[in-house]
Structures are given as structure tokens and as C-alpha cells.
Amino acid sequence: MATSMVARGSAPLLLRSMALLPSPTIGAQRCATLVTLRGGRQHFVLTGQLQSRMGAGNSPVVHQCRRCFGVRASASAEAESSEKKPTVGFLGLGIMGVAMARNLVKAGYDVTVWNRSPSKCDALVKEGAKFGASPKGTSAACDITFGMLADPAAAIAVALGEDGVVKGLGPNKGYVDVSTVDAETSKAIAEAVRATGAQFLEAPVSGSKKPAEDGTLIFLTAGDRALYDEASPILDVMGKSRFYLGDVGKGAAMKLVVNMVMGSMMASFSEGLVLGEKVGLDPETIVQVIGQGAINAPMFAMKGPSMVKSAYPPAFPLKHQQKDLRLAIALAEEVSQEIPVAAAANGLFVRAKKDGRGDDDFSAVIEALK
Ligand SMILES: NC(=O)C1=CN([C@@H]2O[C@H](COP(=O)(O)OP(=O)(O)OC[C@H]3O[C@@H](n4cnc5c(N)ncnc54)[C@H](OP(=O)(O)O)[C@@H]3O)[C@@H](O)[C@H]2O)C=CC1
Ligand SMILES: O=CC(=O)O
């Protein structure tokens, strides 16, 4: 299955089973997308390009398509309903989930939120979200449900537990798991979701608290392509780009590879700062020097100044970075690939976690060296 990458702004209109038509035109513009509605009826609707030229929401959308293709267009009410946003469930309002769900509420989606500790729903409910009493109730009430959970155990509990997501799913619904988990977890959830007739997409994200707040995450997706197409406008509210990587497991693997590199980089950066200081270098100057050269990285520029002050306000909790290294090491073992640098970095994160740093930002790994 080919990989595809899309940057925000290039998505076609939402709906299941889209197919671009071969170059029909209205005036000078390429115009239409064949859309299969949930009931199986088909419409031609305009692409965003022409729609914006004509004014979004105008009835000519349907009339123009009938003229072009001789398709019997139905009432404009039906066309309007074809453009209706799906209802969205969001499960897990930790550092990432609360920011992602907030962006969906702000974008005008009808969002139902659930969190294990219910008080974390309060702020979003005040901002316009609905309160979900359980994962099951949320997925039953919504077209597409997202899960942003801590780790594989949490993702499994929320998806497959007694009042889990799967119990509320059925045909014409979708579950998108955006947590960082291993492929095995993702595949187990996919199987249970699909057994209900619903669709599944894994879509872990690259990017931390600030990108989640700014809506600039990178989605690493894999699974049911039709759900990917339908969910893309929603992903584009929360992120700046999205990759479709093929079968379930590929998104999880991509995320673990990326976070394995990140953990090793952070461990190495920490060693540089600690060693430099011990031999009499000013750590702030070390951060500046690294920032000028070939190994400059946004992560060093962002975390360096607070690390120098021994401040670690959590954006990406250390316990999650260690979990990702652990899962990456397990992945490497599956294919007999040596990853000694990541294994050494993991040892450092394990030590920092044992020292009580699990809920600090992952940059607190430097403390394990002091
Ligand atoms: N923070 C970051 O920078 C990034 C994080 N990620 C990944 O996203 C996921 C979430 O991260 P983040 O928001 O930072 O994590 P948090 O620790 O802030 O939030 C974790 C969420 O999972 C819930 N949870 C934990 N255990 C269970 C359980 N057994 N049953 C039900 N719910 C549970 C928590 O509920 P409760 O509030 O009740 O504890 C909370 O909603 C993780 O997989 C992480 O690796 C990915 C990219 C960036
Ligand atoms: O998973 C963490 C991130 O920053 O990406």
C-alpha cells in the first residue's frame, strides 16, 4: 500500500467513499467529486476550489453538478446534510487530549468528551462540549470517536473494557486511536472494532503540548482508508500534516521509530550539558553553540534554556518517553535489529523514572546524570 502525505488545506470534501472525477469543468475550474452518502445515494459535489469561488453553502453547488453531468440532483437540504460535520467523541483529556478536543470545539464540531477522572471534562463542557458518561456511551453517540490514552494498557482498557468504545460501535462509525502504542495493541483494537462493522484508524501524533494547542500536530495514520478520508478534515483541525502509511501497525511503528530517535537525542544532549558544565563551560553557551551548528534541533532550542535552570514543566511526560523507548526496543527485538544507543538511553530514562521524575517533562532525564 502506497504511503501518502498531505499537508493541511489540501483535503477534499468530507464523506465516505470519495472518488475524484476525470477533469470535469465548470467554466475554467475542475469541479466535482463523486460522493457516496451513508445511505448509499450518490452526489457530485464541488471541490473546495470552486466552492470557495462560488461562496460556500450556496445552492448552486447541486445545480451546477446536475448541469455538468446530468445527475438528478436532490433537494438542497440533502446537499446540505451531505456537508454536515460528523459528531466527534474524544476520550482521554490529558496534556494532549484536552488541547486537541478544544481545537475541535473551537472549529464548530459537536464534540462529546470523556475522561477516566471526570473532572477533567469540566472546562471543555463549559466551552461547549457534551459530557460523555463512558467510552461506550460516547462512541454510541458519535460518528467518529478519538482516543488519546496514556499507554497500551489504557488504550486497551478504554477500547475493550466493560463499558469500552467497542460496545458502542457499529456500521457507519469509526474509532481513531491517537495514543502512542505498539502495533500489537493497535491490531487487537482494530480487530475488535472491525468485528462490530465499524472502521479503525491508528493515528499517533508527532508533536507535543504546544503543537497540540496550536493545531500543528503530525498524524501518522494507518488502517481503514475510508475512515482516513472521512476523518481527514478533523485531523486537519488538530494537525498541520498527515501521513497515510498503510495497514494497521505501520503508524505505531513510525511513531516508535521517531520517538526512539527523540529519546536518544535528549539523552545525548543531557550528557553534553552535564559534561560541559563539569569541565567549566557555561551551559547556556553550550545551548547557543549547538543552536548555531549542524546539530541544531528545535527540541534543543526549546528545552535547553529550562534544562539549564533545572526546570521541567511537563509537556511530554518522562514516563511516556520511557514507555516509547521500551516499545521501540521490543519492536527491534521482533526483527532482531540491534539498537544499542536507544537501549542505553532507555536505561537513563528508567533511572530517572525510578528517581520520581516520571511526571516531569522528559528533559528531566538530565537529572539522572547529576
Ligand atoms: N505529551 C506529549 O507531548 C505527547 C504525548 N503523546 C502520547 O499521547 C498519549 C497521551 O499523552 P499525554 O496527554 O501527554 O498523557 P497524560 O498522562 O497527560 O494523559 C493520559 C491520559 O490517559 C488517561 N488514562 C491513563 N490510564 C488510563 C486507564 N487505565 N484507563 C483510562 N484512561 C487512562 C488519563 O486519564 P486520567 O486523567 O484519569 O489520569 C489521561 O486522560 C500517550 O500515549 C503519549 O505517549 C504523543 C505525542 C506527544
Ligand atoms: O511523543 C512526543 C512528541 O513530542 O512527539
* Predicted local confidence at residue 9, as pLDDT: 56
- Ligand 1 geometric centre to CA of 155 (Å): 9
Confidence of residue 3 (pLDDT cuts 50, 70, 90): confident
Per-residue pLDDT at 163: 98
pLDDT digits (tens, 9 = 90+) for 252-295: 999 999 999 999 999 999 999 999 999 999 999 999 999 999 99
What's the confidence (pLDDT) of residue 36?
A: 43
Between 35 and 3, the higher pLDDT residue: 3
What CATH homologous superfamily does 253-369 map to?
N-(1-d-carboxylethyl)-l-norvaline Dehydrogenase; domain 2 (1.10.1040.10)
Q: In angstroms, rounded to a whole number, what is the distance separating the alpha carbons of residues 248 and 229?
A: 15
Atom of ligand 2 nearest to the CA of 206: 5
Q: 68: part of which helix (H) or strand (E)?
A: helix 60-69
Do the bridges between strand 4-7 and strand 239-244 make them parallel or antiparallel, or are there none, so unpaired? antiparallel
Gap from CA of 35 to ligand 1 centroid (Å): 36
pLDDT band at 58 (very low <50, low <70, confident <90, very high): very low
Of 136, 167, 173, 255, catalytic:
255
Q: Pick the atom of ligand 2 nearest to 258's CA.
A: 5
Give the per-residue pLDDT at 5.
82
| pLDDT score of 83 | 67
Among 69-78, 79-88, 232-241, 321-330, name the one with the lowest average pLDDT. Answer: 69-78
DSSP 3-state of 21: coil
Q: Which atom of ligand 1 is nearest to the CA of 323?
A: 45
Residue 59 CB partners (closer than 8 Å, separation 6+)? 76, 79
Q: Which residues of 356-367 are buried (b: 16+ CB within 10 A; e: fewer)?
A: ebbebbbbbbbb
Find out whether the beta carbon of 185 lies less than 6 Å from any atom of ligand 1: no
Question: Whole-angstrom Cα distance, residue 16 to residue 27?
Answer: 27
The mean pLDDT of 45-60, rounded to a whole number, is: 34
Q: Which residue has the higher pLDDT, 161 or 14?
A: 161
Q: Check whether 90 has a pLDDT greater than 70.
A: yes
Residue 6: pLDDT band (50, 70, 90) is confident
Rounded Cα–Cα distance for residues 342 and 358 (Å): 18
User: Which atom of ligand 1 is the closest one to the Cα of 153?
Assistant: 29
**Between these two residues, 74 and 149, which has the higher pLDDT value?**
149
Query: Which residue CA neighbors atom 6 of ligand 1 most closely?
Result: 180
Per the model's pLDDT, the better-predicted residue between 316 and 14 turns out to be 316
Neighbouring CB atoms inside 10 A of 346's CB total: 22
Q: List the residue whose alpha carbon is closest to atom 30 of ligand 1.
A: 154
- Would residue 255 show up in a list of annotated catalytic residues for this protein? yes
**DSSP letter string, 126-190:** HTTPEEPSSHHHHHHH-SEEEE--SSHHHHHHHHHSTT-GGGG--TT-EEEE-S---HHHHHHHH
Do 150 and 179 touch, CB atoms closer than 8 A? yes
Measure 320 CA to ligand 1 centroid, in angstroms. 8
CA distance 328 to 28: 51
Rounded-to-integer distance, Cα 114 and Cα 140, Å: 13
DSSP SS3 for 72: coil
**How far separated are the first and last CA of the chain, in Å rounded?**
47
Say what the pLDDT of residue 84 is: 87
Q: Quick one: what percent of the chain has pLDDT higher than 70? A: 79
Taking residues 52-69, what's their average pLDDT? 31
- Rounded distance from Cα 93 to ligand 1 centre (Å): 7
12 touches 231 (CB < 8 A): no
Measure the CA–CA gap between 154 and 179, rounded to whole angstroms: 9
Quickly name the fold that domain 88-246 has: Rossmann fold (3.40.50)
- What is the number of the ligand closest to the CA of 263? 2
Q: Is 120 in the pocket of ligand 1 (CB under 6 A)?
A: yes
ipTM confidence: 0.99
In this predicted structure, the answer to whether residue 77 has a pLDDT above a threshold of 70 is no
User: What CA–CA distance (Å, rounded) separates 236 from 32?
Assistant: 21
Choose the weakest-confidence range: 60-64, 194-198, 252-256, 340-344. Answer: 60-64
User: Which is it for the CA torsion 111, 112, 116, 118, positive or negative?
Assistant: positive
- Domain-wise residue ranges, the chain: 8-82, 88-246, 253-369
Predicted confidence (pLDDT) at residue 180 exceeds the cutoff of 60:
yes
